A and B are shown apart, each in its own frame.
Chain A
Amino acid sequence: MFEVSALNKSNERVEKLYRTLFLMMVVLLIAPVLIILSTLVVKGGSVLSFEFLFTNPTDGMTAGGIFPALVGTVWLVTVALLVSVPLGVAAAIYLNEYAGENWFTRFINIAIINLAGVPSIVHALFGVGAFVIFFGFGTSILAASLTLAIMTLPVVIVATRESLAAVPMAFREAMWNMGATRWQTIRRVVLPNAISGILTGVILEVSRTTGETAPIMFTGAAFFLPFLPESVFDQTMAMSLHLFVVSTQVPGVPEALPYGVALVLVAMVLVMNSISIAFRMYLRGKKKW
C-alpha cells in the first residue's frame, strides 16, 4: 500500500533538481564576492603595516599611510551618532510606546522608509543646501555628520523599534498596575530589557556611516589634509572618500595602495557588522521570555 510509486519518484527527482538549482544560485551570489574579497586581502595585505595605519599620506598621496583618514572617519561617525542615536531612539520610543495606529503614524512610517530610500547623493545636496549654506556651518565635520546622521536615522529607528516591540506587553502592564507613569515604565522596564537590541542597531549604524561616501563629499570631507581636525568646524579626511581619491583622482599611485585602503575600510565595516550579528545571536540565546 505504501510502495513508492512512479509519481513519487518523479516528484523526488524534480524536488532534487530545484533544490540543486537554488543552491547554485546562492553559491553564484556569494562566490564572486568571496573571490573579490580574497583578492582585496591578497593585494592589499602587502601594504598593511603599523606605519600604514598611523602615518600621514606623503608624496602627493602616492605613499605613506592613512592616519588622518582613519581619525577623520572616527570624528564623522562619532558626531553623527551623537545626533542620530538620541533622535532615533526617541522616535522609536514614540512609535512603539505612544503612537496609535492612525494616519499620522502611517505618515511617519512612510517618511522613515523614504529617508532610507532617498539616494545618498540627494542627501548630499540636502546637506549642502541646509547645513553648509543655510545654517552656515560651511564644509565641516558638523555639516557632514549631520547629513550622515539624517541619512542613517532609519537604521537606528528600525532596530530600536524592533527591540522595544520584543519586550512583552505584560511587563508594561505590571508596571502600570503599580501606578507607574509611562516614562517610569519605559525607563525602568522597557529600555533595560531592550538596550542590547538597541546597541546592535547602533553598531550597525556605525558600520553604515563608516562606508558612506557621497553624503560627505561636499559637506565636510576633504581630499587631502596633512593635519588632524581639532573641532567640529574643521574639514577632515575620511576613509571612504580617501579610497575614491586614491583610486580615481591621484595619478601615479602604486597599485597596491588603494587595495590597502579598501581592505582597511571593508575590514572596519565587516568587523562591526560581525560584532552586531554575534551580539544579536548571543542575546537571542539568552532571552528569558
Chain B
Amino acid sequence: MAAAEEAVKPVAGIDEGGGFDRRNTDWYIDKAVQGFVFLGGISAIVFIVGIFIFIGKEGLSFVFETLDLTEFFTSEYWEPSDEDEPEYGILALIAGTASVTGLAMIVAIPFSLGAAIYVGEFATGKTREALKVLIELLAAIPSVVWGFIGLVIMNPLIIQVFDVPVGLTVLNAGIILGLMAAPIMTSIAEDALKAVPDRYREAAEAMGATRWQVIYKVVLPAAKNGLLGAVLLGVGRGFGETMAVLMATGHAVNIPGSVFDSVRALTATIAAELGETAVGSDHYGALFTIGIFLFIITFIINLLADLVVRGVRKG
C-alpha cells in the first residue's frame, strides 16, 4: 500500500494527502476554453438580441413620438421627403413586397419541389451528384448579380415579348426572385426527402409499388412537413431579398393592378433611402421602423419553418 502511494506521488495533480486534485494547468486551460466556446455559443443569441435592440433604439422613439401606427400600415402614401407634410404609409410597399414574393413562389415552388423529387428520388449516381453540385452553385450567385440580370437581360426581354412600355415590374422581379430562391428551396426540399427512412421505400417496393407510387404515396406524405419548411424558408428569403428587388421592380410606390406594374419593396426602400437621410430625423426613424417590421416578420417565418421541420423529425 505504501509502495503504491510512493509510486504515484510524482504525478502532477495528486496532492500530499493522497486525495485526487485535478486542478493542474491542463484543468485550468480546459475551463478557460470551455468559457471561451461558451461565449461563442451564446454569440448568436447576443447578436439576435443586439440586432433587435439597435434597430429598436433608432426606430422606437419615432414609433412612440411621431408615428401614427394606423396610418403607417394603412396609408398607401410613402412621401417621406415632402417638406410640409411628410407621409409614412407602407401599405403600397407591403403590397410591392407581397406581390413580388407571391409571384416568385408561384415560379419557385413547383420547380423546386419537382427538381428536388427528381434529384432525390429518380436520379442516381453521377447524374445525381452533378445536378446537386449545379444546384448548389446556382444558389451561390449573389443577389446584386440577379438584380443586374433583371435590369439588363429581363427588362428588354419583357418589353419585347409582352409589348409593354416598362420591363422593370412585378413580373421581372418575381421571375428573378423565383430563379434565385428555387435552388435553395430545392436543396432544403431534397434534404427533407432524404430524411424519409429508406425502410419506408423498401416496404412499399416490396409490395410491388412502382417508383412513382412510392414517391406519391409514401415519400411525399412522410416528407410533407420538411417540404412545407422549405417553402416557408423560400418565402422568408423572398421577403427579405434586397438588391435584386431594388434593381428589378422599377422602384415606384404603387399598389400593383397587374404583373406589368412597377412596385417598390420594403427592403428596397431602406436600401435606396437610408443613405440620404439625416441620422435621427423622422425619415431615418421611419426606415428603421420598416426594419423592425421586417425583422419581426422574418423572425416569425423562420420560427414557423423551424417548428414545422422539427415536427417531422419528432414524428
Chain A residues close to B by CB (< 8 Å):
11-12, 14-15, 18-19, 21-23, 25-26, 28-30, 32-33, 36, 39, 86-95, 97-99, 107-115, 117-126, 128-130, 133-134, 150, 153-154, 157, 181-184, 186, 207-208, 210-214, 217-218, 240-241, 243-244, 247-248, 255, 258-259, 262, 265-266, 269-270, 273-274, 277, 281
Contacts and interface: CB of A to CB of B under 8 A. Distances in A.
Given A111-B47, A126-B50, A99 B41 contact: yes
B114 A91 contact: no
A150 B201 CA distance: 41
Given A29-B182, A36-B153, A108-B42, A262 B148 contact: yes
Interface in B124-169: 129, 131, 133-138, 140-145, 147-149, 151-153
A107, A121, A157: which has the most chain B beta carbons within 10 Å? A121
Given A32-B179, A126-B54, A244-B144, A15 B271 contact: no
Given A22-B114, A122-B51, A243-B145, 6 more contacts: A29-B115, A30-B131, A91-B43, A123-B51, A270-B137, A270-B141
B130 to A, nearest CB: 10
Nearest to A21: B114
Contacts, number: 268
Given A29-B111, A157-B44, A181-B27, A118 B144 contact: no
Nearest to A150: B47
Contact of B44 (A99, A115, A117, A274): A115
Give the secondary structure class of B's interface. helix
A234 B186 CA distance: 40
A99 B37 CA distance: 10
A129 B179 contact: no
Interface string B50-72: 11001101100000000000000
Nearest to A25: B114
Interface of B: 26-27, 29-30, 33-34, 36-45, 47-48, 50-51, 54-55, 57-58, 110-112, 114-115, 117-119, 122, 129, 131, 133-138, 140-145, 147-149, 151-153, 179, 182-183, 186, 210-213, 215, 233, 236-237, 239-243, 247, 267, 270-271, 274-275, 279, 287-288, 291, 294-295, 298-299, 301-303, 305-306
A108 B49 CA distance: 11
A98 B48 CA distance: 22
A244 B272 CA distance: 12
B279 to A, nearest CB: 7
A40 to B, nearest CB: 8
Nearest to B275: A218
10 contacts: A11-B210, A19-B212, A22-B122, A33-B138, A36-B153, A90-B40, A90-B41, A118-B48, A157-B44, A277-B137
A94 B39 CA distance: 9
A126 B55 contact: yes
